[in-house]
Structure 1
Amino acid sequence: MNLRGLAAVGTMCLAAVAITGCNDGKDDKRDVGKAADVKATGSAQPSSGGPEQSEGTQQSNGTAELPPQQILEKAAQALETAPSWHVVTGDGKERIEFSVDDKGNCQGMRSDEGEEMEFLLQGESFYAKPRATFWENHFEDKASQAQQFVAGRYITTTADDPEFSPLFCTRNMLRASLFSPETIKAAKLTKGAKTVVDGVGTLQLKGTLDGSPTTVVVATTGEPYPMTIESSEAGTAVRMNFSEFGKEVAGSVPAPADTVEVGEVKQAVGASD
């Protein structure tokens, strides 16, 4: 699955919070795709500083001297083992961003033409303020009743709820697909420009990854994190920007008065399971 395929899966899951059927078959329901089939916004754009600035403000990690496939492998490993990271993607109409860590915490939001959805996963509890499409997908002809009953509160359930699992809060989706050993082995990439992103030296890998024209920007100072992944298929650009590696994911759990259990909503409006 290429980056555009991941994007499509992520968009469908996010559109209805987490619709059953987006599961990739793994035991951990959080390990699936989570991006949007759109160009990204954010600060992780390569600077125009040029090669003379490529050292950044940190010590070189030696990545730039490796062959492209080894660089990609190191980037995959770094993302997989990072304590936490933040990802952003958007195109002006739609924007998705969230932070995820290795302790089971995830916090973020999605906006689409002004309509926003907040979500928070903390340990075994999941909270969300859904968009209108959520009510339509899960409550059908009782959508209006359910929305009125919730009255702006967060809906809450457990992280392993098979119907409402927060599938977008993941850490290994790229390793399982775009950065799989098979995909990395078959990649046809060459080293491109060296630039600086927020004081971090980076190197571009350009070529073909999983059958699509792709550019991966990898840090050459500090940890070899992937900073940006951009792929193009049929004229559509898909981009993911990563940042805030190791930063604490500190979402505030809503007060009990500001939450309502999914089961309580269903019971109130007479919706079937």
Structure 2
Amino acid sequence: MSMKAKMLFVAAVSVSLGATALVGCGSEKDSGEVFGGKSADTIASDAVKATRDTESLRIVGKSEQPGGNEIELDFSVDEQDRCTGTMSGKGAKADVLQVGQKAYVRGDKKFWENTLQGKPGTEGAVEKLQGKWVKSEPGKSGTEGMCDKQALLASLDSDKSERKGMKKGETTEIDGRSALALEKKQPGGEKITMYVATEGEPYILKAVTEGGETPSEVVLSDFDKKVEVQEPAAGDVVDPKKATA
């Protein structure tokens, strides 16, 4: 499983493009007491399955990119192709939403400048598109990485070798919930830490990658909560073909 937070970002921001750490002080509870003495690798495997099986969830995260750019995202997604949230990077920001096969993006000026990048026939399009919802054709929205829950969470399990050789850390709190830290050091100095809920379903509450080229963190929450999404009003939607004509 790729427990690296950056694997979620590869899926989640394939399109276009600070959260503070929520880890509290280590608790006095012995990590060996939780999960009935299961090994770290078994706990990691159970956590991946529980997280992938949830009906919906919220993902908030950030990732440092080469060159100093930082990507941030905050979105909620469910099994019924409902999705809503924001993403930012390279000085740009955009809102995204999806209802079934209908996907929309509303970017600021910098977002559209980065997206169009002086492509022929797009002169003047930035002014027409910025701040407006732009409807995308199915499969061409650029939001698929964010809004396909199954594909997104499949990235957690893309490399099962990464959940081998985990070690238990301390129990702590992530956003008020008790969690056990599972840790692994990678060649080259990179460290992976996954925080697993110790009460209720063993959801992954947070994944952190330290060191390496793209340090990052992702916090997961709102498991199985309904994702409320409404399509934008027709008057707020711009046809990109007309804007770039």
When normalised by structure 1's length, the TM-score is 0.72
The answer to whether structure 1 residue 111 and structure 2 residue 88 are counterparts is: yes
Report what 2:14 is aligned to: 13
1:121 aligns with 2:85: no
Does structure 1 residue 81 correspond to structure 2 residue 53? yes
Q: Which residue of 1 aligns with 2:229?
A: 251
Q: Is the 8 A contact 1:126 1:156 kept in 2?
A: yes
Deviations 1:119-169 (A, max 9, x none): 1011110011124344453461444421233363210023323x6453322
Find out whether 1:155 has 2:155 as its counterpart: no
Greater shift after overlay, 203-212 or 225-234? 203-212
**Deviation digits for residues 183-223 of structure 1, max 9, x if unmatched?**
256x2111110123344321110114698421110001011
In structure 2, distance between residues paired with 1:201 and 1:168: 27
The alignment yields a C-alpha RMSD, in angstroms, of 3.3
Against the structure 1 CA distance between its residues 183 and 221, is the aligned structure 2 distance closer, same or farther, given a 3 Å change threshold?
A: same
Partner of 1:215: 193
Secondary structure of 2:24 counterpart: coil
Q: Secondary structure at the match of 2:145?
A: coil
1:67 to 39, 60, 63: 39
For residue 206 of structure 1, the aligned residue among 183, 186, 211 is: 183
The aligned counterpart of 1:241 is: 219
Contact 1:53 1:201 in 2 (8 A): no
| Kept in 1: contact 2:84–2:229 (CA 8 A) | yes
Shift of residue 94, structure 1, vs aligned partner = 4.4
The residue that corresponds to 1:47 in the other structure is: 24
Picking from 97, 101, 108, the partner of 2:74 is 97
Q: Is the CA contact (8 Å cut-off) linking 1:230 and 1:239 kept in structure 2?
A: yes
CA–CA separation in structure 1 for the residues paired with 2:159 and 2:44 = 10
Q: Partners of 2:37 and 2:11 in 1: how far apart?
A: 34
Q: Distance in 1 between matches of 2:216 and 2:130?
A: 36
Tell me the SS of whatever aligns to 1:103: coil
Question: Does the 8 A contact of 2:9 with 2:63 survive in 1?
Answer: no
Count of aligned pairs: 235
1:252: how far off?
2.7
Amino acid paired to 1:183: S
Match of 1:169 in 2: 147
Q: Which residue of 2 aligns with 1:225?
A: 203
User: Is the counterpart of residue 264 in structure 1 residue 242 in structure 2?
Assistant: yes
In the alignment, structure 1 segments of 5+ residues that lack a partner are: 17-39, 55-59
Q: Gapped runs of 5+ residues in structure 2?
A: 65-69
The match for 1:28 is none
Measured after TM superposition, the shift of residue 6 of structure 1 is 2.5
Distance 1:183 1:169, change over 3 A: farther
Distance 1:42 1:170 in 2: 26
Which one-letter code corresponds to 2:119 in the other structure? E
Distance 1:15 1:3 in 2: 21
Identity of aligned residues (%): 22
Partner in structure 2 of residue 30 of structure 1: none
Against the structure 1 CA distance between its residues 241 and 64, is the aligned structure 2 distance closer, same or farther, given a 3 Å change threshold?
A: farther
Shift of 1:254: 0.7
